[in-house]
Amino acid sequence: MQTVEQFTEDASLVGLRTLYFAMKILDEKEVQKLHFEINKVDQVLQNKEERLESVYSELESNLTLLGATAVEDRLQDRVPEVIHDF
């Protein structure tokens, strides 16, 4: 069985765009905190993008990796026309 790491390495070597899928289960308190933080960022006028990035960065930590996929990116130069089986 191929590991996710090996799959994404093989896919990227042939020019495919790789995407990871991960998840995190949040309890009600964590969801409320997330909504509070996002609403707080909405109230500010300066550095909004950086502050939102910080909120989302915290949310995206300690995720459980579910898997990965690879897709052809026809907008990119020199990308193969056929999806490869790994």
Express each pLDDT in 5-50 by its tens digit: 999 999 989 889 999 999 999 999 999 999 999 999 989 888 889 9
DSSP state of 75: T
Helix (H, G, I), strand (E, B) or coil at 24: coil
Position 72 scores a pLDDT of 84
Question: pTM of the full predicted structure?
Answer: 0.64
Cα torsion through 43, 53, 71, 66, rounded to 10: -110
Q: Closest Cα partner for 72 from 19, 15, 5, 20?
A: 15
**Structure tokens that stand for 56 in this block:** 């989302």
Position 36 scores a pLDDT of 95
C-beta separation of 38 from 52 below 8 A: yes
User: Distance (Å, rounded) from C-alpha 74 to C-alpha 82?
Assistant: 11
